[in-house]
Structure 1
């Protein structure tokens, strides 16, 4: 008689442990979409800051262009000074780096399609003051001692412009040409010997 494996209820065993709940992948993905990752948030801040910097730079460039835009004439044509010249009002100014006599300085200005500067106001004088210690300007009293005339034929207004202390004084046996001084306790127009070697200031106007 064949025998078969014996089985009974006591032979069946089952392990029962604590119940563990596993996260739902779909729910985790949804939560991630609702709350940006810290790294992604940092990138967005950087991009936003960069965009604001670009906008500010554009505004600054426009402001600078408006600030340095040259004046225009009646026909609306934009005016500008030659390279190396300075602009003030409707004039361009060239300040030399060399030193020459008054007559040689004026000749250089004429060759540049200009003339030695004619100072018409205290504002113009203030603008030109400080570039050099001494520079020839376009005034002289050669024709009549004590009567100062600009190179354009107009008379120098001694009361309107600033003269250096005690000037003009006609020292050294005759000082018939004018320069602009910027020295300690000696600032303003000054009479000087025409043969002396100074720097000089040329001026050309738009009209």
Structure 2
């Protein structure tokens, strides 16, 4: 069986047909069977990969496209669970980022679960989030005053490390071999993520 994928714009078509059978050589019979099995596995893997990509596109489309239901988040914000998220395109210090969120009737994001962290991972290489250990070194607190449960979230390798004489503000990173929560100098200019609960 032959499977051919063709893509034109947002349209994907799949053609299924039969392989042409060629006479088998006696000494190559085992090799041909192995190659045939390998082809079937490759076709399956390509098909499965394509389905995963299509599912991801569908998820993003459904998340961003207006539906018949009333919009729960302001325009330009993303919706996940019971929150709306604004991901900045500008870069500011942690304090200035938080001020921007407050002006939007929101605050820097508080990450409550690994699922929420997974949702927020990948939108930027680095973005400020609503945690700091300014009051007491090593004791991380969210902007709403609750402690950060370090074991419940995914930290980047070796973080937090308080490097360079003090890194008291938290960000979320998505870099090669450095993915997760991180501590950074509060004056660094970075993008940020605001969060407000759905009303």
State the TM-score, normalizing by the size of structure 1: 0.63
Matched, 1:177 2:195: no
Task: Name the count of aligned residue pairs.
Answer: 136
2:131 is aligned to 139
Counterpart selection for 1:154 from 140, 146, 162: 146
Which runs of no fewer than 5 residues in structure 1 stay unpaired? Answer: 1-63, 71-76
The answer as to 2:186 corresponding to 1:197 is: no
Displacement of 1:206 in angstroms is 2.1
Give ranges in structure 2 of 5+ residues lacking alignment: 1-58
Helix, strand or coil: the match of 1:181? Answer: strand
Distance (Å, rounded) in 1 between the aligned partners of 2:153 and 2:162: 18
What root-mean-square deviation, in Å, do the aligned CA atoms of Structure 1 and Structure 2 show? 1.9
Aligned to 2:77: 85
Larger radius of gyration: 1
Q: TM-score, normalised by structure 2?
A: 0.65
> SS of the counterpart of 2:96?
helix
Of 74, 95, 107, the residue aligned with 1:103 is 95
* Structure 1 residue ranges (4+ consecutive) displaced by more than 6 angstroms after TM superposition: none
Cα distance per residue 1:138-175 (max 9 Å; x no partner) = 00000000000000111101001000000000000000
Give yes or no for the alignment of 1:113 onto 2:118.
no
Paired residue secondary structure (2:152) = coil
